[in-house]
Structure 1
Amino acid sequence: MSLKKESPSDVLLHLAALRGDDITLRRVLDSGKVHVDCKDEDGTTPLILAAAGGHCPCVVELLEQGADPNSKRATGTTPLFFAAQGGHLEIVKILVKAGATIDCPSVDGGTPLFVACQGGHVKLVKELIEYGANVNACMKDRASPVFISSQNGHRTVLLLLLSAGAQPDTKRIDGATPLWIASQMGHDHICKVLLQNGADVDAVRCDGATPLFKAAHKGHMAVTTELLKYRPNLGLLPNGETALHAAAMFGHLTVVKQLVAAGSDILQKNQEGLTALQVAKKQHFVTISDYLQDRLRSIIGRN
């Protein structure tokens, strides 16, 4: 159903809400020429604009004049969603007091808590949890608040979620866990928290890669250090490679040394029948191939 075309007064009200001009906003509302919840072509109401912009006086005025705290854009996003996304704590409090639904999801499943976690808004996340927000509510792709906090490196937010009962291992549709994404991003401080809270060190994504494989692939030494404390699989993975192969393939000498010291088999062949040494030579990583060659001589010497 198409929305009614905006009148000049509708446009003026939207602009006032967008700019935080509460004087103009009040004057337009008092004129009786507009509906307090008039919408633009995207379904955006003045309250949504004021909440998104962090304009407290406008939010208060609109609510006092009957604005719907649960109005939605075409995307399903509400004033509370935008206030949470912007980190506007006082506006969140005002909206909740006015009856805003805490866990109202957008079309793609995003809740106010999810976007607050995404932005790392610690105080706001704490407030939403205290209001009873579902810490395990997921996007349509199954990304959870824990996942997005881990991806963006927000440790304090992650701790709040876990202490409120959030699951540490909820997988996205592609099989990626919070630990997997944190390992890819190089967030060792996040990996440490997740592992301490029971995250599966060997959770495999749909492509057959584990957190350790991804850390080795990216050369994240600090992440590798944290993962190795939990005895991850050093052998052949479902993707046909080992973490050692990944480190050798992309030239990460320090990670190669970490993995060898942890017990990685330098004679293990990947799905193409190549050892990590052969992979390093193929990629022309001389320092890595020399190191692995020395280790190989040492093994042969012992035998």
Structure 2
Amino acid sequence: MTRRGIAGIAAVFAMAVASAVLSGCFRGEGMTPLMLAAHDGSIPALKERIASGDDLNARSRYGWTALMFASWKGHREQVVALLDAGADPNLISGDVPSRFETVGGTPPTTALRQAIESGHGDIARLLMNRGAKPDAGAAALAGGKSDEAMLEELQRRGVDWNQPSPQTWHGTAVIAAAARGNRRNLDWLLKHGADPNLVAGSTALKEAVNEDDPETVRFLLERGADPNVVYWSSNETALFTAVSKHVGDSHYNKNLEVIRLLLKHGADRNHRSTSDKLTALEWVQRGREGTREAAAEATDPQVRKRLEVSMEHKDSVIRVLDS
């Protein structure tokens, strides 16, 4: 299995873990009665726990507070009650180690990040008005999931769109917007100083390429994205991402269009990665040979057919790169 294949499996595993966490396995994992009331939306139970003197900033096993749960679930009345009682809106879940964070599961979060990520703009504004600080993590999440009104609110509060966040899946707002194909937000961010070539674990162009999204790739290239920016220690570019990623049958044509766009805008065909010492063309040629050998050895007709179709796609990529 290739390095990219292993990385892909790890990413899928991490996302599955995160999904499991956010779908309910918080329950029974160190959640206090106050947290349960905040999560479930029971205002009488919440006020009873507050009146009983429960620790407002207690952490679950995953480092979450009651305010984070209420913000995630969109329970405005609970958020107000917790803030009125003195809950800290700026605590970060990553302050407390958890088994999920140690295996690359849920990134560290805050109440504000949860409100933004879950689409609760009214609660995000409430939190900021009550002292929550919009950090790089909140800004990155807003790029992919918020509307222009939230971007404008964060801009007014002084966020730096080019400050990378090491605590979110996508390091900046422009990278997050590109990953989601959110060209409206991309347009706003680029007009307000976001750097399309900033490397923060990835780049905006790399994410659009990885999604086989030719429209967003074109959008970025026409607005200054450099196809020859390198990322990762292997010194790879967007062209390597385009030719080396696993492409489903339905995305073959989109993948070819992305490769053509990169070449049209100056992608260096002769650039070599530091790991394999191969150009993009040589990488595909090697992959095609491996696919041909696998198809020849396949005994299952369906498996052989899929490999043959994959080989045909690689032939098309080779023709584009060699033209």
TM range, normalised to the smaller chain?
Answer: 0.5 to 0.7
Q: How does 1:10-89 map to 2 (within 5 A)?
A: 44-63=31-50, 65-68=51-54, 70-75=56-61, 76-89=63-76
Aligned residue-pair number? 244
Query: Is residue 242–residue 270 contact of structure 1 (8 Å, CA) maintained in 2?
Result: no
Query: Is residue 196–residue 225 contact of structure 2 (8 Å, CA) maintained in 1?
Result: yes
1:249 to 244, 248, 263: 244
Gapped regions of structure 2 (runs ≥ 5): 1-26, 97-107, 246-251, 289-310
| Alpha-carbon distance between aligned partners in 1 of 2:215 and 2:69, rounded to the nearest angstrom | 35
Gapped regions of structure 1 (runs ≥ 5): 1-39, 139-143, 297-303
Deviations 1:19-61 (A, max 9, x none): xxxxxxxxxxxxxxxxxxxxx9966443322122111233234
| Alpha-carbon distance between aligned partners in 2 of 1:230 and 1:188, rounded to the nearest angstrom | 12
Alpha-carbon offset, residue 161 of structure 1? 2.7
Equivalent residue number for residue 211 of structure 1: 204
Deviates more, 1:70-79 or 1:164-173: 70-79
Alpha-carbon offset, residue 254 of structure 1? 0.9
The TM-score with structure 1 as length reference comes to 0.67
Higher-helix-fraction structure:
2
Which amino acid in 2 is paired with 1:196?
Answer: K
SS of 1:258 mapped into structure 2: helix
Query: Is residue 57–residue 88 contact of structure 2 (8 Å, CA) maintained in 1?
Result: no
| Alpha-carbon distance between aligned partners in 2 of 1:105 and 1:240, rounded to the nearest angstrom | 33
Alpha-carbon offset, residue 172 of structure 1? 3.4
| Alpha-carbon distance between aligned partners in 2 of 1:62 and 1:233, rounded to the nearest angstrom | 54
| Alpha-carbon distance between aligned partners in 2 of 1:273 and 1:110, rounded to the nearest angstrom | 39
Identity of aligned residues (%): 27
Query: Is residue 47–residue 67 contact of structure 1 (8 Å, CA) maintained in 2?
Result: no
Query: Is residue 197–residue 229 contact of structure 2 (8 Å, CA) maintained in 1?
Result: no
Query: Is residue 32–residue 60 contact of structure 2 (8 Å, CA) maintained in 1?
Result: no
Alpha-carbon offset, residue 90 of structure 1? 1.5
**Shift in alpha-carbon separation, 1:59–1:201, aligned structure 2, 3 A:** same
Equivalent residue number for residue 269 of structure 1: 271
**Shift in alpha-carbon separation, 1:260–1:43, aligned structure 2, 3 A:** closer
Which amino acid in 2 is paired with 1:225?
Answer: R
SS of 2:164 mapped into structure 1: coil
| Alpha-carbon distance between aligned partners in 1 of 2:280 and 2:82, rounded to the nearest angstrom | 58
Spell out structure 1 runs of 4+ moving beyond 6 A.
none
Q: Which has the higher contact order (CA 8 A, sep 6+)?
A: 2
SS of 1:101 mapped into structure 2: coil
**Shift in alpha-carbon separation, 1:96–1:253, aligned structure 2, 3 A:** same
Equivalent residue number for residue 186 of structure 2: 191
Equivalent residue number for residue 319 of structure 2: 290
**Shift in alpha-carbon separation, 1:201–1:57, aligned structure 2, 3 A:** same
Alpha-carbon offset, residue 159 of structure 1? 4.4
Equivalent residue number for residue 155 of structure 1: 147
**Shift in alpha-carbon separation, 1:256–1:147, aligned structure 2, 3 A:** same
| Alpha-carbon distance between aligned partners in 1 of 2:186 and 2:43, rounded to the nearest angstrom | 38
Which amino acid in 2 is paired with 1:168?
Answer: W
Equivalent residue number for residue 262 of structure 2: 259
Alpha-carbon offset, residue 80 of structure 1? 1.9
Alpha-carbon offset, residue 265 of structure 1? 4.0
Query: Aligned Cα RMSD in Å?
Result: 3.2
| Alpha-carbon distance between aligned partners in 2 of 1:172 and 1:228, rounded to the nearest angstrom | 24
The structure with the largest alpha-carbon Rg is 1
Alpha-carbon offset, residue 179 of structure 1? 2.8
**Shift in alpha-carbon separation, 1:79–1:158, aligned structure 2, 3 A:** same
| Alpha-carbon distance between aligned partners in 2 of 1:234 and 1:122, rounded to the nearest angstrom | 34
